[in-house]
Amino acid sequence: MTRGSAVRYPFSAVVGMDDLKLALLVNAVSPAVGGVLVRGEKGTAKSTIVRALAALLPAVEVVPGCRFSCDPKDPDPRCPDGPHAAATGQPREARLVELPVGASEDRLTGSLDIERALTEGVKAFEPGLLAAAHRGVLYVDEVNLLHDHLVDLLLDAAAMGESYVEREGVSVRHAARFLLVGTMNPEEGELRPQLLDRFGLTVEVAATRDPAERAEVVRRRLRFEEDPAGFAAGWVEAEADLAFRITAARAKLPDVELTDAALRQITAVCAAFEVDGLRADLVTARTAMALAAWNGRTTVTSDDVRTAARLALPHRRRRDPFDAPGLDEQRLDDVLDQHGDDPEPPDDDGPGGTPPNDDGPGGAPESADGEGIDASGGGGSSNKQQEAAGGGGEQEAAQPGATYKPRLFTVPGTGTGAPGRRSKARSPFGRVAGARPGARGVHLTATLRAAAPHQKARGRSGPGLLVTPEDLREAVRDGREGNLVLFLVDASGSMAARQRMRAVKGAVLSLLLDAYQRRDKIGLITFRGRDAELALPPTSSVDAGARRLERLPTGGRTPLAAGLLRAAEVLRVERLRDPARRPLLVLVTDGRATHGDDPMRAAALLADVAAVVVDCESGPVRLGLAGRLGERLGGEVVRLEDLGADSLAGVVRDARKVA
């Protein structure tokens, strides 16, 4: 969908968020930077500022009637609507195209016009959103909720500046150069590091903790809602200044020189922070050049390199979802100083190097950085006493052991849940396994086969087929789905030997990482003492699960039945919220129950849930309680040392000796 005529909140009126403003403006100057990924908590005006940016972009000249927005001065020679004869361009505003979370591949890239192909016998291409976004802005809200296949497609198009469609006998290539902006809430799940790397810049946003600044945000928003047109009119001059500055920076960009000294700093910084590949070097260089143009200069300075590195490198340092994003700015300064032997060129006459401030109507205060969120967790008090039956004091939280690749556990049968990589499912993505009546993702061969027997009855005697809506067949595909993996972890005293709990946490952390890679939702329930606690409600944020697990204290009795009952209640609620997502219960315990009701009766409530019991029992004498509980649940039982690679067996054997 494209931008409508409704009044949008002015870009200049957004309070604070200087890094985000600068990253968007740099991409407006040079779309080759590769777009912006905006990460932040809900309610931080991510969507507002992105939608406001499109109004600042210069109008574009397009070939009249061209669905692919060709430039009349330099038309695409391979445009599907071409070739274009010399014609007077038609001006129009730069488009803001929004990609919905539920969009299909056909909607994104375009597809064969099935109706014309079947009725007129011609191969007609219907453009998608990539074509509509050419020379404008493509905005993807909640990009982390898109299927990975779609994210790959749009990032490929953004990197190459072209979109290729090869399907259903159609082979089309068209230009697709746009400013890509994605927003996401990390609490709803992370993008894979491979996909993070494809975004040029990333910015973390959070609501300011300054009461005066928060008050100004609310004040402006209320004024805008009361009178949108009147509020926007007060910012016309500031918006015009920004628009002019973008145009001037675009004109200056070809003249910007990346000196050998600046290039040496860029490569030294990327090497020092151990980013993979060379994309980081290229993006940092392009960003630094765009910053120089934005600031009215023709030479890149150390300050440009520093700012570019702050925006281009943090997300490229993440190698798994448990790595915290960010950049050590002191180290960055040290590397720049070490490799900054050549003197910096003097600034040309031009505007200063700061992003637009908020000093407009209403007298906004200067931007203030939001306070960091204290992520430290409190462990329990240290207590060396343990009781074999699970009683005793609380233990200090043990750190998780090393992660490894665990065995694949799946939910039996075939589901219809969200696309993922765990259990079998009927999915829009995957191998074609058949066809059924329908018009979504038309299966051309099956459609023609269904229409063929009826041609005589329909009075068709010549070449070609007469196809009716009743003949349409859609492809049935075998794919994979993501599941809800609910971890139920025994944190009682019988599990509390430090080395043993370290191995248990390492195993659960490995399963969490596996769930992240397979696009699952995860939840975490722990039980100890007298009750069970929902430590992490079902979410797609696997790193949140890792943080809860790392701070998990242990000790006390074992209320196994309470844990099973809590799991049954959580799964009951989740079935109501998302009936298509099938659950997998992973119970990590030694099977001992020293408090509460009989766990076997509680397990009966989970008889219809796919389950895996990780048996953590150790010692020369084993009671086999976890195995019997697994039989009651109707699930697979796997010993802790058999959960993953052979190298884990030694870790667990050592843990047993300590225990």
pLDDT digits (tens, 9 = 90+) for 561-603: 999 999 999 999 999 888 889 999 999 888 888 887 888 888 8
CATH number given to 11-58+94-253 = 3.40.50.300
Question: What element of type H or E holds 238?
Answer: helix 236-252
Domain boundaries of the chain, sorted by first residue: 11-58+94-253, 256-342, 394-411+483-658, 425-480
- Assess whether the region 256-342 and the region 394-411+483-658 belong to the same CATH fold: no
DSSP 3-state of 51: helix
pLDDT digits (tens, 9 = 90+) for 198-243: 788 999 888 888 899 889 989 999 999 999 999 999 999 999 999 9
CATH number, domain 256-342, options 1.10.20.10, 3.30.310.160, 1.10.150.120, 1.10.8.80: 1.10.8.80
Q: Are 545 and 508 in contact (CB under 8 A)?
A: no
Q: For residue 340, is pLDDT > 50?
A: yes
Using DSSP bridges, classify how beta strands 583-589 and 610-615 pair: parallel, antiparallel or unpaired: parallel
Question: What element of type H or E holds 221?
Answer: helix 211-226
Q: For the chain, how big is the Rg over CA atoms in Å?
A: 29
Minimum mean pLDDT among 415-419, 430-434, 530-534: which range?
430-434
Interior angle at CA 621, CA 618 and CA 624, nearest 5: 70
Q: What residue has token string 């945000």?
A: 217
pLDDT digits (tens, 9 = 90+) for 85-144: 777 778 888 888 888 877 777 788 887 666 565 555 555 778 888 988 888 888 888 887
Listing from the earlier edge strand, what are the strands of the sheet with 636-639? Answer: 531-539, 521-528, 484-490, 583-589, 610-615, 636-639
CA distance 620 to 641: 15
Q: What does the block give as tokens for 498?
A: 């430090």
Whether this model's pTM surpasses 0.85: no
CA distances from 150 to 172, 448, 603 (A): 18, 29, 40
Q: What does the block give as tokens for 179?
A: 């400013």
pLDDT at 379: 37
Tell me which residue of 12, 404, 529 sits closest to 235, measured CA to CA: 12
pLDDT at 463: 67
Distance of CA 451 to the CA centre of its chain: 43
Q: Evaluate the CA torsion angle 649, 655, 657, 659 in order and state its sign.
A: negative
Q: What residue has token string 């060379």?
A: 278
Q: For residue 4, is pLDDT > 60?
A: no
Q: For residue 414, is pLDDT > 90?
A: no
Largest CA distance in the chain: 91
**258 DSSP assignment:** -
Banded pLDDT at 654 (limits 50, 70, 90): very low
Using DSSP bridges, classify how beta strands 610-615 and 110-112 pair: parallel, antiparallel or unpaired: unpaired
Quick one: what percent of the chain has pLDDT higher than 90?
19
Does 325 sit behind a cis peptide bond, omega within 30 degrees of 0 on the bond before it?
A: no
When pLDDT is averaged across residues 388-414 and rounded to a whole number, the result is: 66
pLDDT at 252: 94
DSSP 3-state of 417: coil
CA distance 629 to 633: 6
- CB burial string 246-277: b at 16+ within 10 A, e below: bebbbebbeebebeebbbebbbbbbebbebee
CATH number, domain 394-411+483-658, options 3.40.50.410, 1.10.10.10, 3.30.360.10, 3.30.70.2860: 3.40.50.410
323: amino acid identity, one letter? D
Q: Which residues contact 609 (CB under 8 A, 6 or more apart)?
A: 571, 583, 584, 585, 633
Residue from 221, 279, 426, 460 carrying the catalytic annotation: 279
Q: Are 107 and 129 in contact (CB under 8 A)?
A: yes
Does the active-site annotation cover 279? Answer: yes
